[in-house]
Amino acid sequence: MEKVIQTLRSVDIEKRIPVLKMEIDYELLTLHDALQAKDHEQIHRSKKKLERLRNEYLRLKK
């Protein structure tokens, strides 16, 4: 049963990583736009979200 659970988690991780990369790319684009517009609120939100996404990515890659 433990092997089945590990296999399911592995499949979920394999599906999540590409989505996570797309989310990071999108948020980087959002941050770039905010920097161009000097929108300090959006810059702060994007940095926070990127930090959260980065941490999740690192956790999944282990």
Which pLDDT value is given to residue 9?
73
Give the residue extent of every domain in the chain: 25-62
More confidently predicted of 60 and 8: 60
* pLDDT tens digit sequence for 28-45: 999 999 999 999 999 999
Q: Which of 47, 19, 16 is nearest to 31 (CA)?
A: 47
Using alpha carbons, select from 3, 4, 19, 5 the residue that is nearest to residue 60.
19
Nearest Cα neighbor of 32 from 20, 46, 51 is: 46
Mean pLDDT of the chain: 90
Q: How many helices (H) and strands (E) does the chain have?
A: 2, 0
Output the pTM of the full model.
Answer: 0.81
Q: How confident is the model at residue 58 (pLDDT cuts 50, 70, 90)?
A: very high
